[in-house]
Structure 1
Amino acid sequence: MSNSRDNNYVSAKTMPHNGKLLADFIQNNKINRAELARQLNKANTSVYQYAESPSLQMHVLWKVSLALNHNFVAELGASLPVDYVTPKEQELQDQIKVLQEQIEGLKKEIEHQQIEIGVYKNIVGK
């Protein structure tokens, strides 16, 4: 396997090695392959075959994602060299924009109140 494929599982023109993605997740999270096979109702050898396969079927990715509580489908989608914002991401970006506007408004209000406090201190002589 080439170094370019090892880096982020994908180059600009090749599909990610799905099995390596799965194998690395299993290794990094110390997942018991036999237990995963039982959860998937598959033979232990199937999990090893998945790890070797450069391309996994969608139903396999779906089931493995559910079994491991990790969204491999989204992870693969994120590596696709095409920009796409999910509706949930757009909603969160919109919320961030609203919150940033609120923060700016509050900063201006604090500045105004600090000026008022300065005026009152001058009047009182403190």
Structure 2
Amino acid sequence: MKSNIPPPTPHMGNLLKTYFRAKHIRKAVLARLLQRDKSSISRYQKRKTLAIDILWDISHALQHNFFSDIAAQLPAHFSSDIPADTSKDELINTLQEENKQLTTQVATLKEVLQTKT
């Protein structure tokens, strides 16, 4: 029997703490960027949950998408309203077409060289 109980929510303080350590972010620097006390940053690192506006401000201050980090922890089959990024597919199609043209040009050049010799 499949359980409908979702997994526990990510601990936001641990998410921040892990990022700060990995990127060598000093609390004092972040506090200045956010115009908050250093003690506020310490409290954020201890909280299980954070208000969206706080996480939004931290994301902007550090230019890091913590919301994406959280979303990556959800199952891949969950829906989203974010349009699919087709830029890679378009680039692949363009490069494949260019490859066909270049292959044809190489074949043509080989034929010309063979007829001249």
TM bucket (normalised to shorter chain) is: 0.7 to 0.9
Of the three residues 64, 88, 94, the one matched with 1:102 is 94
**Counterpart in the other structure of 1:9:** none
Answer 1 or 2: which has greater helix percent.
1
Matched, 1:23 2:30: no
AA paired with 1:86? I
**Counterpart in the other structure of 1:7:** none
The runs of 5 or more residues in structure 2 that have no matched partner are: 1-5
AA paired with 1:102? T
**Counterpart in the other structure of 2:51:** 57
Give deviations 1:52-73, integer Å, cap 9, x for gaps: 1111111111111122221212
AA paired with 1:76? I
In 2, Cα distance between equivalents of 1:122 and 1:38: 71
Give deviations 1:50-95, integer Å, cap 9, x for gaps: 11111111111111112222121222122222243623xx2xx322
**Counterpart in the other structure of 1:69:** 63
**How many residues are matched?**
110
The runs of 5 or more residues in structure 1 that have no matched partner are: 1-11
Of the three residues 60, 81, 86, the one matched with 2:82 is 86
RMSD: 1.9
- Normalized against structure 1, the TM-score is what? 0.74
In 2, Cα distance between equivalents of 1:72 and 1:115: 51
Percent identity between the two aligned chains = 26
